[in-house]
Structure 1
Amino acid sequence: MIDTAGQTLAVQKVRSVRAVGTRAVLAELSGTQDVLALQALLVEHPLPGQLDVLAAAETVLVTADSPVSARRIAARLLQLDLTAPAHREGELVVIDTVYDGEDLAEVGELTGLGTDGVIAAHTGQIWTVAFAGFAPGFGYMVGENQVLEVPRRSSPRTAVPAGSVALAGNYSAVYPRRSPGGWQLIGRTGATMWDLDREQPALAAPGHQVQYRAVRDIVTLAPEQQAQIPAPELRSGLRVVAPGLQSLIQDLGRYGHSGLGVSAAGALDRASLRRANRLVGNAPSAAAVETVAGGLTVQAVGDQVLAVAGAPSELTIESRSDAGFDAGSDFDDADEAGSGPSWRTVPMATPFALLDGETLSIGAPESGFRSYLAVRGGVDTAPVLGSRSTDTMSGIGPAPLATGQLLAAGGEAESGVVGHPELQPEYPGTGVTVLDVVPGPRADWFDQGALDSFTAQDWEVKPQSNRVGMRLQGTPLQRTRQGELASEGTVAGALQVPPEGLPVLFLADHPITGGYPVIAVVVDSQLDRAGQVPIGGKIRFRWAESTLTGNATPQPVTPEEEASY
């Protein structure tokens, strides 16, 4: 390549490509400029089968629509010539910060600067947002020097307060909301880092410059009072009588927004959501209710058609004395005369009517963990970034269901008839669930002994698990490499291993980037099964038959595939 001065320039290429599960690949590059160049190229000229692109510190994650597309994309990435990224105007954002973080003293010791020196170094330079990740509004900021370079915590916190100002590696960032995290906390701010009501939701977006300013206390402006508009009267839908442990509105998720730091979210058991929607005549992606461990009770407002799929549970309907009954249903003979409420049960994976005023209760699962309640027409709530799913990591989407809440039934029925009863698969119990995995992009951080230990033992699902990830208990895995891994994109099903050696299995609400090595990735077809493993259940991982434990590199594309590309 020749520049305008006639000088020969070295052609910049992708250094290597690693598989991330079966439907994503990770391109490794020489530095931030090449990362931004590749990201810009793929956004402007998407490769066939490309679904999403996520830039990180030294890598670009490309998600594909199929395993074959992922292999084709891997081959193409190695052939691309990278051009310089477009120049970005660096708007300056000032963030007032109180420096009283839990890790401030430790950071002072790690850097040798002391507490006052850390504050001076953090406020005395301009930081530039290089890329977004982890969560919406979480910008990875690069400083003008490396005096504040510190490692992540050996064990991540399960909850970091919103507004926490933190350091990790060469980066600084602000946690936009309460979430898990392994960065060193040095202060806090009242700045709103993510607001969907703004034209630019992220306060500090990629390309922005940031100046931290030390203050004694946080001053936040009171939100503007908006006129209260009375909610329209619900004429058709469901009223929440009891929400259970955790009940959320979910559909098949929001894709293509990883550049904003937004994960896909969506139902953890996608097959069960589709089944419930199919039974009531909805589109497969219609919003439904995902509920955990039973306890959900809803009341019909107007006559409704419902179906429940997923973890097998007893479904009990309480009827008014004058309500009709479905033919063939079981009910309490003592109430046949209409002297009071009557109860009947309905089967799983079968459409049924819930008449106006009747209530449905979902009991504790016999096996599995999550059940899906679909109402004909779908749950009608305002979509956010194209989806009605609740993302518990980012706070995007509807809040968890609450007692007394009204759920309107929408217009997403696509069939004039309901479906026939369906058979359901067997769901995991408290025994051992086997999940197939493929090598992760950082399997080479572990020797054969650790890889064997990973698949030879039963991992127990800890109570701290949630939709973000399943924390596993077992014999810790030892790394063969020390030091930090630059933050890079990751996927649902990835098994990250923090320095303490206990894997975390990422689920649908996972952070889109992470800084711990991924030893393996659950194959996409078994993510539904993973989402049904209950707290206290055990998981054993098994290498998929088509992979080799020592190979984390995508296989080459065949000539036939190349010809059809």
Structure 2
Amino acid sequence: MIETAGDTLAVQQAAGSKVSSVRAVGTRAVLAELAGTGEVLALQALLLEQPLPGQLDVLAAAQTVLVTADSPVAARRIAARLLQLDLTAPVHRDGGLVVIDTVYDGEDLAEVGELTGLGSDGVIAAHTGQVWTVAFAGFAPGFGYMVGENQALEVPRRSSPRTAVPAGSVALAGNYSAVYPRRSPGGWQLIGRTGAKMWDLDREQPALAAPGQRVQFRAVRATVTLAAKQPAHTPAPEVTSGLRIVSPGLQSLIQDLGRFGHSGLGVSAAGALDRASLRRANRLVGNAPSAAAVETVAGGLTVQAVGDQVLAVTGAPAELTIETPGGDDSGPAERTVPMATPFALLDGETLAIGAPHSGFRSYLAVRGGVDTPPVLGSRSTDTMSGIGPAPLAAGQHLAAGGEAESGVVGHPELQPDFPYAGVTVLDVVPGPRADWFDADALASFCSQDWDVKPQSNRVGMRLQGTPLQRTRQGELASEGTVAGAVQVPPEGLPVLFLADHPITGGYPVIAVVVDSQLDRAAQVPIGGKIRFRWVPDEITAAAAAPEHATPEQEASN
């Protein structure tokens, strides 16, 4: 049983509570550092209640709050304003007390009892005897990091993470408690289980316990999980205008420009990796820039027209072959069409996209856009969280929608050069944790060519090269991050985050690719080479800046 009681959450900090420092995260986001969880909650509540000019999104973490802006100018202004905010005034947010029925029979309950000295019964009493507040989300949609009223249940993560933790597992790690919203790997200590559905896209608010809300666990002997009401089976509506997938190739996904403003729920933006190519394809067929299209990797996609269609293919250049069914005795006829040019695909004709001559990702737009139900305001597929349409499969039908903005199609366009042979150079600015590395490591980061490993995907590009050495020991508390961030795990091999990246990370970010070059990064193939280049004067300016800059100094940078 889950109860939600109307209530108001008041957040108030001790006198003199302020943002201690602000660090740039790329060119459109800033990271506010605070003394502890209380201050994090206060700043998060304040920014949600009174957004700053240009503020797009707010993401709280263990000791930081990431604020994303709509422009570099707005980001600089937000940085200056954050240092001036007074967090001592109470901030009231409409909240609610979410009561979660829990069976305390977790595999690690006895061990947690020994670690805390409370015993199993004492752990249950301590867990149910306090109100928890969801400080921030991460790891997976619906996974809320909850802080309690005391530290009686502080325990370390397991030394060896489990490969699969059941959905509904109630767990502890550090000073946090959480409920796993779905089956996934995890290293937290399991103390119980619940039938509560922590993440449900059919609800108006998908997260049962969102950041800022309060939670109380209630011990029960058994949980009852109500089976979802199964709707009567109705066949999918027949697609009378659109495309049939003959072959999806290596991986073909539906993508638009992404879903924004949901990072607080643990949901990344996703969306097309090469945004310029998506916009170009939509422009050519007369669609709105954000209309959904098909993103395909390394060629191999073949589609058949259902009704007469207008299409365009942009991105990685490849041979586009159209096959027209033959008449009674004649065989099929073939013709080719150019890239970045609108063309007709008549009913029954098939289009095959060959292997790219350069680059990695191509975008197929159909006039009207791909019509699929939006999820959290977007039709994009998030491969990490599983939100959005499933990868395309042979035999699947895609309906054309009503996203056409113009009665005419566009003129053929020129495309930029795409990576193939040689090295792709990406401009970067110093990351918020560049100070975890000395001058030699920063120089090594930009003086060598990094190979893109086969394990790379839409979540991130894993790079191979000479490992980078940190100058600081220990681990970084989880903090918000952005697409383009270059994290450095302990082994020293960087990972460049792409659109489906986790919204928080615990490894230091040495640099951030400038936003305008993420499209170029998306076209680097597996096995390709990347070289990073500091944006002129940015690394010098960052090194010269004081650790705790004044608002005037921040505003002038």
Query: One fold, TM greater than 0.5?
Result: yes
The Cα shift of 1:134 comes to: 3.5
Tell whether the 8 Å contact from 1:242 to 1:403 is kept in structure 2 after alignment: yes
- Matched residue, 1:293: 298
Matches within 5 A, 1:133-148: 133-143=138-148, 144-145=150-151, 147-148=153-154
CA distance in 1, matches of 2:465, 2:169: 31
Distance 1:384 1:456, change over 3 A: same
Match for residue 440 of structure 1 among 414, 420, 431: 431
- Matched residue, 1:91: 98
Tell whether the 8 Å contact from 1:22 to 1:70 is kept in structure 2 after alignment: yes
Matches within 5 A, 1:294-333: 294-322=299-327
Match for residue 263 of structure 1 among 261, 264, 268: 268
CA distance in 2, matches of 1:462, 1:123: 48
- Matched residue, 2:420: 429
The residue type equivalent to 1:453 in the other structure is S
CA distance in 1, matches of 2:140, 2:487: 17
1:389 correspondence with 2:380: yes
- Matched residue, 1:194: 199
1:500 correspondence with 2:491: yes
Structure 1 residue runs of 5 or longer lacking an equivalent are: 1-7, 323-336
Identity, % of aligned positions: 76
Q: Secondary structure at the match of 1:241?
A: strand
CA distance in 1, matches of 2:140, 2:351: 36
Distance 1:138 1:123, change over 3 A: farther
The Cα shift of 1:376 comes to: 0.5
Residue by residue over 1:66-106, the C-alpha shift from the partner in whole angstroms, topping out at 9 and shown as x without a partner, is: 11111111111111112233264432213447645xxx69x
CA distance in 2, matches of 1:67, 1:158: 41
The Cα shift of 1:233 comes to: 2.0
Distance 1:556 1:23, change over 3 A: farther
Match for residue 231 of structure 2 among 206, 226, 246: 226
The residue type equivalent to 2:127 in the other structure is Q
Distance 1:9 1:386, change over 3 A: closer
1:520 correspondence with 2:525: no
Tell whether the 8 Å contact from 1:382 to 1:388 is kept in structure 2 after alignment: yes
1:358 correspondence with 2:376: no
CA distance in 2, matches of 1:447, 1:486: 20
The residue type equivalent to 1:11 in the other structure is G
CA distance in 2, matches of 1:510, 1:45: 28
Match for residue 532 of structure 1 among 519, 523, 540: 523
Matches within 5 A, 1:124-273: 124-126=126-128, 127-143=132-148, 144-145=150-151, 147-150=153-156, 168-177=173-182, 183-184=187-188, 186=190, 191-206=196-211, 207-211=213-217, 221-273=226-278
Q: Secondary structure at the match of 2:336?
A: strand
The Cα shift of 1:186 comes to: 4.4
Match for residue 465 of structure 1 among 456, 459, 464: 456
Distance 1:247 1:213, change over 3 A: farther
The Cα shift of 1:12 comes to: 2.2
CA distance in 1, matches of 2:294, 2:200: 25
CA distance in 2, matches of 1:245, 1:147: 47
- Matched residue, 1:376: 367
- Matched residue, 2:9: none
Residue by residue over 1:184-224, the C-alpha shift from the partner in whole angstroms, topping out at 9 and shown as x without a partner, is: 464895653211112431133332325386999x9855432
The Cα shift of 1:521 comes to: 0.6
Distance 1:124 1:37, change over 3 A: closer
Distance 1:250 1:158, change over 3 A: farther
Q: Secondary structure at the match of 1:234?
A: coil
Tell whether the 8 Å contact from 1:300 to 1:355 is kept in structure 2 after alignment: yes
Distance 1:200 1:123, change over 3 A: farther
The residue type equivalent to 2:100 in the other structure is V
Q: Secondary structure at the match of 2:491?
A: coil
The Cα shift of 1:451 comes to: 1.6
Tell whether the 8 Å contact from 2:173 to 2:189 is kept in structure 1 after alignment: no
The Cα shift of 1:174 comes to: 3.7
Residue by residue over 1:29-86, the C-alpha shift from the partner in whole angstroms, topping out at 9 and shown as x without a partner, is: 1222222222222222222111111122221111111111111111111111122332
Distance 1:475 1:183, change over 3 A: farther
Report the TM-score, using the length of structure 1 for normalisation. Answer: 0.85
Tell whether the 8 Å contact from 1:56 to 1:487 is kept in structure 2 after alignment: yes
CA distance in 2, matches of 1:59, 1:529: 30
Distance 1:98 1:437, change over 3 A: farther
Residue by residue over 1:159-183, the C-alpha shift from the partner in whole angstroms, topping out at 9 and shown as x without a partner, is: 977556665543233443466x774
Tell whether the 8 Å contact from 1:380 to 1:409 is kept in structure 2 after alignment: yes
Tell whether the 8 Å contact from 1:94 to 1:212 is kept in structure 2 after alignment: yes
Distance 1:150 1:473, change over 3 A: farther
CA distance in 1, matches of 2:155, 2:407: 61
Matches within 5 A, 1:52-67: 52-67=57-72
Structure 2 residue runs of 5 or longer lacking an equivalent are: 1-12
